[in-house]
Chains A and B, each alone.
Chain A
Amino acid sequence: MRVTVRSIAFMLVVTMIGGVLLLSLSGLWKTTSSKTPVKFSTGEFAGLSNPADIRGSYSFADVEKNFSVTAETLANAFSFDTSSKPAGDYVAKDIEGAYGALVPEGGEVGTDSLKWFVSLYMGIPYEAEGDTWLPTSALDLLFREGKIDAAAREELASRSVEPPGEGMKSPVVITEHVESAEDGVIKGSTTYADVIAWGVSQQQIEEIIGMPLPGKTTNIRDHLQKNGLSFSTVKAQLHSLVDVSGQ
């Protein structure tokens, strides 16, 4: 049986394009990641997702789904502003975009930093690339939550960079004085984190506003306005709690 130019052209177009169409119709044609990282199959961590398999296309919500780290924690660690965009919507490759210009030559804050942070947070061993750095906000968070000790924090400090201040900001929670807010005075720029830092619990705030906090670093006024609540009313209630806790 002879194969001609015409028949080979026909065969290639039909098999390639027809094959793809057929796969698309049957739902088998997948050109994006299923966002399910590979799991450890043996050893102490068997069954747990491997942070090394986090991809640049993973959103913080995908990471939260696969690892015991909330999107909010990730946003705090990398100082992403969650008042303008939900924490879960940030993707790993946003990190490189945000930190690209900040990191000195020889260092990089990107997807590998996210893998590294998640592994440190979960206590899973992971060898980050030699040029991978972490934001200081991530180190602070890890230290605050007892995931690393003071010695480890000091050691990692040489591979850390200050997060961008404006635009992305985020005074992460709360053990230190918050530069952006005048102590005890709730203004248009005050965040829930500020109020928590002044001694009001998250539960008390949620009782006043009648809903869960969207994120501790969310701007209070913007959040209330978005949800149709009166800023002045809530502010007065929060002030009374701040005053009580300050006494």
Chain B
Amino acid sequence: MKRRGESAKRIRLTVQILFFVVVASTTVVHALEEMGISVPVLAGASLHAICPFGGVVTLYRLITEGAYVQKIHESAVWLLGIVMISTVLVGPAFCGWVCPFGSFQEWIGTIGKRLFKRRYNRFVPPRLDRVLRYLRYVVLIWVVVMTATTATLIFSAYDPYYALFNFYTGEVAVTGYVSLGLVMVLSLFVERPFCKYACPYGALLGTANLFRIFRLRRNASTCIDCKACDTSCPMNILVSTVAVVRDHQCNVCLKCTSEQSCPIPHTVELNSTRLEDVATREARQ
């Protein structure tokens, strides 16, 4: 089991690194282009061009005026569509696997885990935490409305993701550096603080957990109630208390599943069918 868990971790880490490198390289190439140095690979795209959230904020203008918000291009809308396909299928796997800023927070979090051991990711009182988790919907509404009314990328001045990949370009507002610094410090105490409390795109994708085709399911009949799934969840979701995880914060990292933390095979899985039904069917065969 442990070896299988390690293999699953390595696969996810590889995917995270792949997308982090692609995004970082693209922004570096863009910065070089801005300085007049042409690079043949990954040329032309800015960070805004390859962020699917740009597709969200420009939708209103695209529908009403047939134009894009400044700095947003067709590519962002296509990426939004591509991400939506995987999100409808399995939920916001983009957040848990692809988003380089999510990965960045997670990697900083490994320092926090070493410093605080079991206390890590348990600092925020649950009652306060529950309320704060909805803050990202406020951010989402604010960003979409403000972008629609001003036709400018209002969030980029505060966006720590933009600040992370453009910190050396001189294009980052002071507020961007502040929010990046804040997220980095908070990541030492809380796993993925920006994802949990402030990410507008995560807020949107998180709603897919209510209707995704493949759902994160727990087989109550085989569960031994060890709570391994709960303690492994970076988003503090109590997987052991539900049959289907519909929590809007699940980012499909699959750490809770029987492939990684759960010690009992086929007890926590991403599956299109009820796990009890799967077990019954397999028993009959």
* Minimum distance in angstroms from B84 CB to a CB of chain A: 10
**A2 to B254, alpha carbons, bound, how many Å?**
12
Across the interface, do B74 and A2 meet the contact criterion of CB distance under 8 Å?
no
Chain A residue with Cβ nearest B83: A16
Complex contacts, B259 vs chain A, CB 8 Å: 4-5
Segment of B86-94, B173-181, B190-198, B201-209 in the binding face = B86-94
Binary CB contact string for chain B from 206 to 224 against chain A (1 if under 8 A, 0 otherwise): 0000000010000000000
Chain A residue total in the interface (Cβ 8 A): 30
Q: What band does the interface of chain B fall in when counting residues whose beta carbon is under 8 Å from A? A: 35 or more
Render B22-57 as a binary contact track against A, CB cut-off 8 A, 1 for contact: 100000000000000000000011100110000000
Residues 88-117 of A at the B interface (beta carbon under 8 Å): none
User: Cβ of B97 and Cβ of A9 under 8 Å apart?
Assistant: yes
Q: Is chain B's interface secondary structure helix, strand, loop, or mixed overall?
A: helix
A15 with B85: CB separation less than 8 A: yes
B93 near A2 (CB under 8 angstroms)?
A: no
Known A16-B82, A38-B66; contact A5-B254, beta-carbon cutoff 8 A = yes
- Contact check, B78 vs A28: say whether CB atoms are below 8 A apart: yes
| Contact A3 to B66, CB < 8 A, known contacts A9-B12, A28-B78, A29-B74 | no
Check if A3 sits within 8 Å of B214, measured CB to CB: yes
A61→B68 CA distance, assembly (Å): 21
State whether the Cβ of A226 lies closer than 8 Å to any Cβ in chain B: no
Known: A8-B270, A12-B93. A30 touches B74 (CB 8 A): yes
Q: Which residues from chain B sit less than 8 Å from chain A, CB to CB?
A: 8, 11-12, 14-15, 18-19, 22, 44-46, 49-50, 65-68, 70-71, 73-75, 78-79, 82-83, 85-86, 89-90, 93-94, 97-98, 151, 214, 252, 254, 257, 259-260, 269-273, 278
A-B contacts, 13 listed (Cβ < 8 Å): A1-B214, A1-B272, A2-B278, A3-B269, A11-B93, A12-B15, A12-B97, A12-B98, A15-B82, A30-B73, A31-B75, A32-B73, A33-B68
